[in-house]
Structure 1
Amino acid sequence: MRIILLGAPGAGKGTVASALHEKYNIAHISSGDLFRENIKMETPLGKQAYDYISRGDLVPDSVTIGMVEERLSAPDCSKHFMLDGFPRTLAQADSLDRFLAESNREIEAVVSLLVPDELIMKRISERRVCVSCAAGFSLTFNPTRVEGVCDHCGGQVIQREDDKPETVLSRLRTYYEKTRPLEEYYRARGLIIEIDNSKGLQPTMIDLECALRDRDIEFEGKS
């Protein structure tokens, strides 16, 4: 299974990807996690990314693509992987296609998670993240056992600045302007699978697994 998860901020891409990883042991490649890991490990790409971020500049495609390609070259991505947060632009999508073609791989499906903007606003404003291990939580659906304390590592759990309500609308506008064209790009190739993710994780997983099986897309359980 080689899929891309598309959806607006707060549509639940990370939650669905984590569930697929837990159930089927499929590599989950999150662009946000890649940035954090590379910056923390002070890799050459991480240092480049940090230089741009520290100046308040956008990280160029070449750096982002380099991180993704490096991760996709790992053994656990040879057959199965899911991309979350990448590609974001048509240029990135084209680079991804060309890179995968070099190893006779291709994207098998692009899952578009559909959630009304009103629900996205609520979900994002309730999101919390651990500052130490980056584990995600929700005040409603996945609260910490102890308020403000990470269940996994005991680190501090906070609300990110860009998850606050006053910034959510701006993030949604950016998504619709910049990322939505990707859906049309993949729709023209017959790769789009639309999944309603407004009813919770369990119905979403059932619908998604059925849709993947209908397309004869292979995915394996944990070994």
Structure 2
Amino acid sequence: MGSGDGGLLKILFKNIDTNYLQTFFSLLHRSLPLNWSFLKTKVFSILGRRGPVCFHKRRKNLVLNLIKSEKVISYVSRVLTMNLLVPKNMRFECQRCARCCGDTSHRGRNLLLTKSEVEEISEKTGLSPLAFATPISNKGAYQYKMKKRGGKCLFLDGKACRIYDIRPLVCRFYPFSVCKKDNKYIFNFADDCPGIGLGEVLSEEVFEDLVTEAQFKLKTS
């Protein structure tokens, strides 16, 4: 769905806010959490992969039921009302240097883990949780920290991550961090990361994705 599809969406779903609909279809294309990959497959199978132009009444009603489900409404509404404060004209391109995967000469790095992340890593690797994670005294979402060998993450192999597809939230965020203050999500970045200043300027969508993924993961931990 592009920005020019707003009028068509308004005709097809005249009782639903157009901004909400455009965000819904945008999230489908981006395959965010909340099982969006599954939802995307389901919606596109209804659409026949040709977009809203091919709608007939039955198809429209099927998608309408999905759009109006309580969980989807809650999720899309959070994205629409998200208030971000992000670095302007921020460029970043990972250099695969693996500096973020452990301690450096001037900074120790704690790789914090949620309970659900520990369970997922354990399931995927076949290792017991205590083989790679240490419980910490924390009443928040982060209840473990990753064990290190020689100051580096146990799952670092040279400069490659052996659990990259299921890497923890703190790894997905790096070199960025976020805090919530006065209903705003404020992003900071690690200025010693060699990837900062390289590559294309990051869009606000990139930071939205990070926040929504964090919301989903921390809620389910």
Please give the TM-score of this superposition, normalised by the length of structure 1: 0.23
Q: Which has the larger radius of gyration?
A: 2
Higher relative contact order (CA 8 A, sep 6+): 1
Please give the TM-score of this superposition, normalised by the length of structure 2: 0.24
